[in-house]
Chains A and B, each alone.
Chain A
Amino acid sequence: MSTAFLTSEVRKPIDPMLPHLATIQDVKPTAVGISMFSLVFADPEERANYRFQAGQFNMLYLPGAGEVAISLSSDPGQPEVLGHTIRDAGSVTRAIGRLKAGDVIGVRGPYGSAWPLNKTRGSNLVIVAGGIGLAPLRPVILSILRQRSAYGQVVLLYGARTPADLLYTDEFDQWRQGGIDVQVTVDLGEESWRGLVGVVPQLFYRIRIDHKKTAVMACGPEIMMRFVIYEALARRIPKDRIYISMERNMKCAVGFCGHCQFGPTFICKQGPVLNFAAIEPFFGKEDF
C-alpha cells in the first residue's frame, strides 16, 4: 500500500480529553465541607493563554480518583488563578478535599456556556443561588462589581440549608458596598441566626422588580430553580430573560460520552447555562 493510507489524517485533531497539570496555590475553607481551591497552571504559556467566562467549568482530575466537573468561581478578570469551590460530595471531590497547597492536580477546560453578562448589560439583574449554586454565580458578581454602572439594580437572593452552609459570607459586606442588594435566607436557623428563615424563592417577595427590564440568573437544586422560574414568570419576566445553570453527571465535558444529555442538548456543550425559553419543553420533566 504505497499510496497515502491515512488520507484524512491531514486534519490531525488535538485530543480534547488530555488533562493539563496545575498546582494548588491555596486552599481556603469556605463553609462546612466546602473549600475554595486556587489553582495555577504549571506551564507558564498555558497560564498566560487561559481565559474563561463567568459560568463556565473545568474538569478537575486526580489520578486514581477520577475526574469531576467544577464551576469556576473566581474573577474572569484574573484568569491566571483559577478558583474552584468544591464540596465533599462524592469519591472524587472527597479525594480532592484531602489535597493541600503545593499538590498537583489535572485541569482541562474551560467548557460550556457562560452567563449572558453582555446581553444583559443595562438591565436589572436578579441573581438567585441555592447552596453551592452561588459558586458559578460568584464570577458574575465579581464581574458586575468591576463595572457596576453598566447594570441597573442588582439583587442577589441567596439561601442555604443552615447558616454554616452559607458560602462567601465574609464577602457579603464588600458586595453590598459595591452596590449589590444581598438578601440571605436559611432553611433551618439556629440560636445565633438573626437573619431570614425560609426557602430561596420566597425572597422574591422582598424585592421590587420592573419586569420590562429585568433578567434572572439562577443556580441551585433543580427543585429550587423550578420555583424560581415560577416566581419570575409570576412577575411577568419574559421566559427568554431567565437563565439557569444545570447540573448533570459528566465524564468527558466535550459531548462524546453521552452522560449529560438533557433532552436534545448536552449540558457540557450547550449548557450548563441555558435559556429557559429554549429548554422549557424538557425542564422539570422527570424523563429528561
Chain B
Amino acid sequence: MQPIVYTIEKPDIAKWLERLLETAEVIAPVAGYSGEVVFSAISSPAQVLWDFENPLHPAKQFVLPQTDPIVAIKRNGQRHEVEPIYDDSRRVLFNVRSCDVKGIAFLTRMQEMEPADGSYLRRAYSLTVISLTCNTPCPLGFCVCTDSGPFLNGDYDIQLTDLGGKYLAEVGSEKGEAAVSNAANLFRTATEGEVSLRKRLETAARNRFGQETCHFASAMRRISTGRVQDALWEKISDWCLECGGCSLICPTCYCFSVRDRARDGNWIRYRIWDSCQYTAFTLEASGHNPHEQRKDRIKRRFFHKVSAQYYMRDGTVGCVGCGRCIKVCLGTADMPAVVAAIRKGKWHE
C-alpha cells in the first residue's frame, strides 16, 4: 500500500502507548535488571527506552519463542486426544530497530512457504511492528550491506523517525493503520518539509557507516562456485567454540528441535531453538553424522546464509546486518569476518 505519513508530537507518544496498552500487550526495549537493554512487556509508557543499544536478544522471540508449545496430547482413560496449541494474542512490538523488523519479515516469508507453519503465522499475523529508525548507526551494525536499515521502505507496520520535537510515523500496513486510528486525534498528516527532512536524515545516517562493513556480493560468488578452499574453512572453524550463540541470537535463524514434556499425565509437544553448530544437530540414530566435523558445520551455516538463501530461495541474504554475532561470538567466526575471509581468500590472523 502507498505509505501514509503522519507526525506525532513527542509528549503525545505516552498517550498513544496507553491506548495501545488497553488493547494489546506492548513489548518494548526496557532497562533490564542489571542495566542491559532487553525486550519486555511494559505496563507503563515511561518504561520505554528511546535512546538505547540494540538488545542482545533479537525480537524474534515474540514470533518464534525459544520454547514454543505446539501440540497437547491428553490422556482420557484409554483414549488419547491430540489438540493443537495456538497463541494468537495481540501484541505490539514497539521501538524495534530496522534490522529486527527485517528479521521478522524474513522469518514470516520462510514460514509462509508451502506448507505454511500455522503455529508461527498465527503469532506473526497478530503482531503489530512499530519500528524506530536509526539516525546514528550502531557501532557493530552493517545493515546497509543487507538492505535492512538504517531506514526501511517496507515490512514495518509503522516506522517512527525522530525529527527533533516530534516523530514521523510512516504507516506501512493495515495493522499499522489500525494502531494509528486507535488514537487518531494525536496524529496529523505530515508536511512535505517533514518528509524531506526524513530523507535527509536517512542519507546522513547511511553516510555515517564506515568504509569497511560487509561486502556480500563477491563472497556470494566465491562460495556458490565452490572457490573457497577447504583449508580456509578449517581455519575459520578453529575459531569456533561450538557454543551455538550465533544461531540463538541471529534474527534470521529459525532451526528448531521438537521435544516432549510430561505435565499432569499429559504430554506437551514443544519446539525449542536448535543450532546447526552443535555436533548432534545432524546425528542419526544409526550413528552416521554427515556434519561431524566443525568445519562442515561452519561451511553449512555460511553456505545457507550467504549462498543458498539467495540463489535457491528468495533472493535475499540470510543476514540483516544487526551485528549481534560479532558481539556474541567468543571466537571471531562472525558474519562480517567470515565474509571478509571468503572474499579475500584468507583468514585474518
Contacts and interface: CB of A to CB of B under 8 A. Distances in A.
Q: Binding site of B, secondary structure by majority: helix, strand, loop or mixed? A: mixed
B300 A13 contact: no
Given A249-B284, A257-B258, A264 B82 contact: no
B283 A249 contact: yes
Interface stretch (A4-12, A118-126, A149-157, A159-167): A4-12
B246 to A, nearest CB: 14
Contact of A17 (B70, B260, B276, B296): B70
Interface string B239-279: 00000000000000011111110100001010100101000
B347 interface: no
B284 A255 contact: no
Interface residues of A, number: 54
B181 A3 contact: yes
B262 A64 contact: yes
B63 interface: no
A200 interface: no
Nearest to A17: B70
Contacts of A79: none
Contact of B300 (A90, A248, A261): A261
Contact of B177 (A3, A20, A93, A256): A3
A286 B293 contact: yes
B118 A16 contact: yes
B288 A221 contact: yes
B308 A259 contact: no
Nearest to A89: B285
B35 interface: no
Contacts of A14: 118
B104 interface: no
Nearest to A64: B260
A233 B94 CA distance: 59
A21 B276 contact: no
Interface in A9-52: 9, 11-21
A2 B295 CA distance: 53
A231 interface: no
A5 B82 contact: no
Contact of B299 (A4, A249, A287): A287
B267 A63 contact: yes
Contacts of B233: 287
B304 interface: yes
Given A5-B178, A21-B82, A287 B285 contact: no
9 contacts: A2-B178, A16-B117, A19-B71, A19-B82, A104-B80, A248-B284, A256-B120, A263-B303, A287-B233
Given A14-B118, A90-B285, 16 more contacts: A1-B23, A3-B178, A6-B88, A7-B174, A9-B88, A13-B116, A18-B71, A20-B82, A63-B267, A90-B284, A247-B286, A256-B111, A258-B256, A259-B281, A261-B276, A287-B295
